[in-house]
Chain A
């Protein structure tokens, strides 16, 4: 095997030699399957990486926003005169001002156009933007806010998702307009008469009959609270008008293409009058999807004709986007030791604005019963408005919430039946080709291997070490699956220069997941060039083609395929030249080691440079390949949720944990943790490991302590002093990942995706281990020590009561 040394260079002469990791080697390929180093490692280690926050422009204005102190209220008066009079204040903007801008639609949103750029007449959550100031510096903008007077008339707030669906509940949005932006949301309809903005239905078989005939029926309600993504870089956007008066936006967004479409719709401008550029993101995890600050900052740039930048504070971040709180009611029938039916009623708290809620309720909704064999399934998923900050996608797109419910219940059932939880899951897990609840046969479905590998790693069949004193030890396992968003589109352009160096033009956003490295690996492999000969041009809607979204574990498959196909076009052009010169069949040629040659006889061929010269006879020439990867789905029947193909691929997940519960305090200490995921072919095994462990530890926090705590619609822990995320001290003592590789026939080199897989099954595995340790079942997240202790206390009381009576 060829030894590959990668040289990372730092500005100027500084160079560091980096040896290659030997842990992972895929013999067939020279770059794909190898844990090559991140493209961006050196700039990140030196802090020189480009973020939107580093872009300064002369005359740039800074923004501060006055936000609603009420969860639900009518705005009766705004007086901004004093703020406007302040020296250095360029603009003070209200919702009414935005609505008065000619040709501007003041509302936006990916599913419904329900969210105002600034509140118009009504506010619907605490923290909703009401007035924006653009001023010469941030302090001045913040000072100016103090001078704005707003009067409100409070309205009754709707704060609980189960209250919100009642007919007598006040309706947050009496009228709704469908956005019509995304193909997969084409079925989302306009019109409105309740707080349920979207209702997903799946009907398979006859659940009622199965319940009637069942040996046993299990009914449980599971809850997970709203939570925060906490990318270390808060949202930030810079907008200005260029010399031809086009709107230019630099933004920390995971969706450059979508943002352009949205701004075009809001401001009524042709797409090519808008340019969105995205440098590196300091994390996203779903927080930076769709339009966030861009509409407001663009409006301010249009009004002031000056560059405008808005960087959210962490406190503002908390009221900008959240993870959906969910109440999931599951009813499951068992007959003869097997599950015969499951009915899921899932209420998604989408907050004041739908954001991407309907997609989550649809895409995650259809997996609510789990990847298990059951002849009868009934799912109702409700996307519900409440007077809380809007909820969106968060690493797993809602699937962690439904797996929390169904895989907790899998354990409850297995225990009640006296079955082994692993065996029970394996017995019900869908086999390759079997139909999912939607009627779609599953393909490249490594669920059983994931469960088995997790069980093996934790030593499921071996006895546990005993704990001492007040500690009790338990093991737990959970499994589940997510399906990739389908249909969706990724376009890419690859250009090659005569020296063999390559540029990739792609709208996939690098936010830490290693997408750039993945693309470069695939293209280097395809074109037979060295990994460091490939450069990635960052998202720029002027030059990088459309991509649906950087999220949902879709980039490696979709963008990976697109860049591979684009590179293949260049390869075939070069092959045609070489074939003609050497008088061989182009199909017999391979690209490797920067040469194109006859398979098996490397001396019969040309270097890339020679091939270019032969084709163009001139220096400095380029070849360009372009491709689009577009996946398709067969739309589900709106009444039954049935479709022969609802998704392009699946990512099965399993988690196994061993933990100790302190029965006096309720504290949980995770001793061993295995995150298992089926990635298809691992393009970069080290990055797969990082994705699995990273999403796992995030969900460890979400399982054990993360929660946005609201009181009357007001957030009580809206800063990092109070909202806790896992620190290095919270990392489990033994913490490993296992990458299962069941290749997908149409994935690039067999790859699927791995960005969310590690997140999916964490919560249920931990709850299952806690029951194993102390015999109590927690159905509400987060599983804080207090929650455990109060369950233990309740049980003790019950036992005492039983003994005394």
Chain B
């Protein structure tokens, strides 16, 4: 399979890139790592006469931290996040989620921005970013706006990006003091596969007393979801009946798509199992217990 001829445009600044996007409209698309786009172009599923290369724009691949949290440039590679000591120390689950994508070659080439913007319903990182309350910085010639990640996903392959807008940065605020996070990826076919589903959990407290619980799930609806209503767990002891109640809450909010990796029935079953496993693992992990 070859890619039909197109022209690669190589802007030097974000503003220039946005302008090119606006100028060419539906005839142009941003290319970040290219791992998804190149496949779709080869399969002739999509075709754009112009691809706008984000690689030549400097200052888009940073991973830095300050008092306000972590900042990851959209062009940082998935592998860079996975192996960043900064990320691993402060948000181990985030490093884990990026580290569980596809294979090392994909992670070396593909970017954070490309992953988030592609908006496939099964991606690994979004559930973790959801529980961490990440904000996405969207840039266009008119304005730079910040969108909470839970508002970024609109539907299957649909995001809040407006014409001409580029995802420039991901901002992750500091996690609540004393909280721990975990990402569980479950592949139902070969061990190497895309996820059947992914569950991210944040817990502050321990098995005896839950101060705060957050859950994010991937692969269980048309878009990644942040589970709502988890206040019910606050100040509770983590018992089997509480876990059942949480699982019920999750079950009400998800709407899994049957696919090659599991039917709707199976995904609902697995959501229950992995949500419980994630919470239990975090509860038992508390160093103060």
A722 to B192, CA, bound (A): 11
A701: chain B residues at CB < 8 Å are: 190
> Is there a chain B Cβ closer than 8 Å to A790's Cβ?
yes
Complex-state Cα separation, A619 to B168, whole angstroms: 77
B266 near A138 with CB under 8 A, answer no
Q: Which of B190, B270, B273 contacts A724 (CB 8 A)?
A: B190
Given A701-B190, A705-B189, residue A143 in contact with residue B4 (CB < 8 A): yes
How far apart sit A146 and B270, CA to CA, in the bound complex (Å)? Answer: 43
Q: Which of B3, B5, B190 is the one whose CB lies under 8 Å from A705?
A: B190
Taking a contact as CB atoms under 8 Å apart, the answer to whether A142 and B2 are in contact is: yes
Residues A784 and B189 in contact in the complex (CB < 8 Å), given A709-B260, A717-B260, A789-B269: yes
Q: Would you call B253 an interface residue if the criterion is a C-beta within 8 Å of the partner chain's C-beta atoms? A: no
Contacts of B159 in A (CB 8 A): none
Q: Which residues of A contact B43 (CB under 8 A)?
A: 315
- Does A665 contact B273, Cβ atoms closer than 8 Å? yes
The answer to whether B191 has its CB under 8 Å from any CB of chain A is yes
CB-CB under 8 A from A726, the residues of chain B are 190
CA distance A725 to B193 in the complex (A): 10
Q: List A contacts of B58 (CB < 8 A).
A: none
Are A665's CB and B186's CB within 8 A?
A: yes
* Bound: A724/B195 CA distance, A: 12
**In the complex with contacts A138-B2, A664-B273, A730-B192 CB distance below 8 A:** yes
- The digit string for B1-37, where 1 denotes a CB below 8 A from any CB of A, is 1111100000000000000000000000000000000
Count A/B pairs, Cβ under 8 Å.
57
Q: What A residues does B39 contact at CB under 8 A?
A: 721
CA distance A790 to B268 in the complex (A): 12
Cross-chain contact B190 with A315 (CB below 8 angstroms) = no
Assess A729 versus B263: contact at CB under 8 Å? Given A315-B1, A665-B270. Answer: no
Number of B interface residues in the complex (CB < 8 A): 24
Q: Is B92 an interface residue (CB 8 A)?
A: no
Q: Main SS of the interface on chain A?
A: loop
Q: Does A797 contact B (CB under 8 A)?
A: no
B262 lies within 8 A of chain A by Cβ: yes
Closest residue on chain B to residue A705 by CB atoms: B189
Contacts of A667 in B (CB 8 A): 188
A313 on interface, CB distance cutoff 8 Å: yes
Assuming the contacts A665-B270, A709-B260, asked whether A729 and B191 have C-beta atoms less than 8 A apart, the reply is yes
Of all chain B residues, which has the CB nearest A140? B2
The number of residues on chain A lying at the interface, defined by a beta carbon within 8 Å of a beta carbon of chain B, is 29
- B interface footprint on A695-731 (CB within 8 Å = 1, 0 otherwise): 0000001000100010000001100011011110110
Contact flag A727-B192 (CB < 8 Å), given A143-B4, A315-B1: yes
Given that A313-B1, A315-B1, A664-B273 are known contacts, is A786 also in contact with B263, CB under 8 Å in the complex?
yes
- List A contacts of B194 (CB < 8 A): 721
A383–B188 alpha-carbon span in the complex (Å): 33
CA distance A422 to B150 in the complex (A): 57
Interface positions, chain B 262-289, Cβ under 8 Å from A, are 262-263, 265-266, 269-270, 273
Docked complex Cα distance between A724 and B103 (Å): 14
A170 at the interface (CB under 8 A from B): no
Q: A786-B263, A786-B266, A790-B266 given as contacts; is B4 within 8 A of A139 (CB)?
A: yes
C-alpha gap A789/B193 in the complex (Å) = 19
Give chain B residues whose Cβ lies under 8 Å from the Cβ of A664: 273
> Given A717-B260, A786-B262, A139–B5 Cβ distance below 8 Å?
yes
Q: Bound state CA distance, A722 and B270, in angstroms?
A: 20
Residues of A within 8 A of B193 (CB): 724
Inter-chain contact B260/A716, CB cutoff 8 Å: yes
| Bound-complex Cα distance A146 to B44 (A) | 10
CA distance in complex: A726, B263 (Å): 22
User: Please, how many angstroms separate the alpha-carbon atoms of A197 and B13 in the complex?
Assistant: 66
Q: Mark A137-172, 1 if CB is under 8 A from B, else 0.
A: 011001100100000000000000000000000000
Q: How far, in angstroms, from A717 to B194 measured CA to CA in the complex?
A: 13
Would you give the 0/1 interface string for A276-317, flagging 1 where the beta carbon is closer than 8 Å to chain B?
000000000000000000000000000000000000010100
Which residues of chain B come closer than 8 Å to A786, judged between CB atoms?
Answer: 188, 262-263, 266
Residue A785, interface by CB 8 Å:
yes
The A719-749 residues at the B interface (CB cut-off 8 A) are 721-722, 724-727, 729-730
Whether B273 lies near A730 (C-beta < 8 A) is no
Most buried by A among B2, B265, B273: B2
Instruction: Determine the residue in chain B with the shortest Cβ distance to A787.
Output: B266
- Within 774-789 of A, Cβ neighbours of B (below 8 Å) are at 784-786, 789
Structural contact, A727 and B190, CB atoms closer than 8 A: yes
Query: Residue on A with the closest CB to B103?
Result: A727
Q: Shortest distance in angstroms between A134's beta carbon and chain B's nearest beta carbon? A: 15
A22 to chain B, nearest CB (A): 34
Question: How far apart are B202's CB and chain A's nearest CB, in angstroms?
Answer: 23
A786 to B259, CA, bound (A): 12
CA distance A724 to B273 in the complex (A): 24
Give chain A nearest CB distance to B278 CB in angstroms: 13
Contact A725 B273 (CB under 8 A): no
Q: Which of B176-201 contact A (CB under 8 A)?
A: 186, 188-194
Chain B residues with Cβ below 8 Å from A705 are 188-190
Interchain CA distance A270-B188 in the complex, whole Å: 54
Cβ-neighbour of B260 out of A139, A722, A785 (below 8 A): A722
What is the bound-complex CA distance between A727 and B266, given in angstroms? 24
Write the chain B residue with the least CB distance to A62. Answer: B2
Mark contacts of B82-118 with chain A using CB atoms, 8 A cut-off: 1 yes-contact digit, 0 otherwise: 0000000000000000000000000000000000000
Known: A664-B273, A665-B273, A709-B260. A724 touches B189 (CB 8 A): yes
CA distance A786 to B264 in the complex (A): 11
How distant is A627 from chain B, measured CB to nearest CB, in Å? 45
**Contact at A724–B192, with CB atoms within 8 Å?**
yes
Complex Cα distance, B2 from A143, in Å, reads 9
- The winner among A146, A709, A724 for most chain B CB atoms within 10 A is A724
B192 close to A729 (CB less than 8 A): yes
User: A665 — which chain B residues lie within 8 A by C-beta?
Assistant: 186, 270, 273
Chain B residues with CB below 8 A from A730, complex form: 190-192
Would A725 and B190 count as touching, CB distance under 8 A?
yes
Name the residue on B nearest A142 (C-beta).
Answer: B2
The contact string, 1 if C-beta is below 8 Å from chain B, for chain A 233-245, is 0000000000000
Residues of chain B with a CB closer than 8 A to A729's CB: 190-192
CB within 8 Å of B: which of A614-672? 664-665, 667
Contacts of B260 in A (CB 8 A): 709, 716-717, 722
Complex: A146 Cα to B273 Cα, angstroms = 48
For B190, list chain A residues within 8 Å (CB): 701, 705, 724-727, 729-730
Q: Taking CB as reference atom, which chain B residue is nearest A726?
A: B190
CA distance A143 to B266 in the complex (A): 42
Chain A residues closer than 8 Å to B266, beta-carbon distance: 785-786, 789-790
Residues of A within 8 A of B265 (CB): 790
Q: A142-B2, A709-B260, A717-B260 are in contact. Are A727 and B191 (CB under 8 A)?
A: yes
Q: From residue 148 to 181 of chain B, which have CB atoms closer than 8 A to chain A?
A: none
The answer to whether residues A785 and B188 also contact, given A665-B270, A790-B266 and a CB cut-off of 8 A, is yes
CA distance A262 to B4 in the complex (A): 36
Q: Measured between C-beta atoms, what is the minimum distance from A772 to chain B in Å?
A: 22
Extra contacts, 13 of them, besides A705-B188, A721-B194 (Cβ < 8 A), are: A138-B2, A142-B2, A142-B4, A315-B1, A667-B188, A721-B39, A724-B189, A724-B192, A725-B190, A727-B190, A730-B191, A785-B188, A785-B266
28 contacts between A and B (CB under 8 A): A138-B2, A139-B2, A139-B5, A142-B1, A313-B1, A664-B273, A667-B188, A701-B190, A705-B188, A705-B189, A705-B190, A709-B260, A721-B39, A722-B260, A724-B190, A724-B192, A727-B191, A729-B190, A729-B191, A729-B192, A730-B191, A784-B188, A785-B188, A785-B266, A786-B262, A786-B263, A790-B266, A793-B269
Please report A residues at the B interface, Cβ cutoff 8 Å.
138-139, 142-143, 146, 313, 315, 664-665, 667, 701, 705, 709, 716-717, 721-722, 724-727, 729-730, 784-786, 789-790, 793
Counting from the closest, the 10 A-B pairs by CB-CB distance are A729-B191, A724-B190, A727-B192, A139-B2, A705-B189, A786-B266, A724-B189, A664-B273, A313-B1, A138-B2
